[in-house]
Structure 1
Amino acid sequence: MILTGPAIAAARAAGDIAIDPYDASRLSPNAYDWRLGDDLRICDGDLDAATPTTCTETTIPRTGFVLEPGPLYLGVTYEKTGSEVYAQLLNGNRNIGALGIWVHVSAPLGHQGHAIRWTLEIRASTPVRVYPRMTFGKLAFLQPLGATASYQQHGLKYTNSQGIEVSRLYEEIPGSGRP
């Protein structure tokens, strides 16, 4: 079951959902409109799942930053969100898609107990200028069925994520280039 905008507001007021910073005007009928954070990482060269990804980090200037086709950009949400009660579903929105930007298509599920600023996978189909803190997508909250299983309690690899995280899949590959 997906929460409506008023239900998100009520759950936030009750302390069951955290959104920081929060702006009630960003609620839509079934989601919260999240914004792109201030920083990007541009992944360098060919990527290898068995080794840590190298990136160049940049702060998006107020005048904007042009995303180019080809590179993988890692960004971050401006808002930190989480809930012990609800799962989260983060997606881009129609406006971003209509600009030829694909954002966060591979990992949209936020588990219960995981309060984070989301790392975003971003690709551009054509050169497009983006700006810090512009609306970039929608965050929905879902009522899970069954016993609660908090992400924090399981101590999974991204438990303490607070900014842009590169893939840590190399930690699972035997004989990989672990740092």
Structure 2
Amino acid sequence: MILTGPEIAAQFKLGAIEITPYDEARLQPNSCDVHLGEKIGWYTSEVLDCARPNPFETHSIPPEGMLLEPDRIYLASTREKIGSTEYVPILHARSSTGRLGLFVHCTADLIDIGSYGQLTLQLHAVQQTRIYPGLLIGQVTFWATQGDIVLYSGKYQGSEGPQPSLVHRDFETR
């Protein structure tokens, strides 16, 4: 069951949903809009390896904007820190950005229950697209769970800024 905008506000006031900074004006009928943060990063290698850390660099998005090129994945983050110990947040693109051919999360839209931090966006532009810090880029919905809750305690907990893949750590636990 998805929460409505008014219910997101009520659950925020009860402390069941965390959004920092919180702005009730950003609530939609069944979601909360999120802004693009000030940092963006990308991998510097042509070949990415799942079993090893990949070279990654982070830059500030200039106030005059930054041009995203097709055929590249960019990692950015939301300005907001988001999480819940009672609901499952899911990240979506806003239809306005989607209509520009800008994918906001290429594959990973589910935020585990108990996770809290800035959300990493996996940006991919179908054609050259200029982005700006503070752009209303996505929206988060909150979903009720069924069954026992096991809180997230994984490798991305407390994320700040764009986080490169840590999939190589999965090989260490084999």
TM-score of the aligned structures, taking structure 1 as reference length: 0.92
Tell me the distance in 1 between the aligned counterparts of 2:83 and 2:170: 26
Cα distance, 1:9 vs structure 2: 0.4
The C-alpha deviation readout for 1:65-94, integer Å capped at 9, x for no partner, is 000112210000100011111110011121
2:48 matched to 1:20?
Answer: no
- Partners in 2 of 1:109 and 1:93 — Cα distance? 16
Query: Which residue in the other structure is 1:156 paired with?
Result: 154
1:11 matched to 2:28: no
User: Which residue of the partner structure matches residue 55 of structure 2?
Assistant: 54
- SS of 1:69's equivalent? coil
Separation of aligned partners in 1, 2:170 and 2:15: 35
Offset of residue 107 of structure 1: 1.1
Trace 1:1-179 onto structure 2 (pairs within 5 A). 1-44=1-44, 45-151=46-152, 155-173=153-171
Runs of 4+ in 1 over 3 A off after TM superposition: none
Cα displacement (A) at 1:158: 1.7
Kindly indicate whether the alpha-carbon contact (under 8 Å) linking 2:68 and 2:128 is maintained by their aligned counterparts in 1: yes
- Tell me the distance in 1 between the aligned counterparts of 2:59 and 2:158: 22
One-letter code aligned to 2:69: E
TM-score relative to the length of structure 2? 0.94
Number of the residue aligned with 1:177 = none
Structure 2 CA distance for aligned equivalents of residues 34 and 163 of structure 1: 14
Cα distance, 1:173 vs structure 2 = 2.5
Q: Is the 8 A contact 2:106 2:124 kept in 1?
A: no
The 3-state SS of whatever aligns with 1:121 is strand
- C-alpha RMSD of matched pairs (Å): 1.6
Q: Take 1:160 and 1:34, find their aligned partners in 2: how far apart are those partners?
A: 17
Give distance in 1, aligned partners of 2:74 and 2:67. 11
Question: In 1, are the aligned partners of 2:37 and 2:161 still within 8 Å (CA)?
Answer: no
Aligned length, in residue pairs:
173
Displacement of 1:57 in angstroms is 1.5
Gapped runs of 5+ residues in structure 1? Answer: 175-179
Which stretches in structure 2 are left out of the alignment for 5+ residues? none
User: Identity percentage over the alignment?
Assistant: 37
Q: Which has the higher strand share?
A: 2
Q: Distance in 2 between matches of 1:11 and 1:120?
A: 25
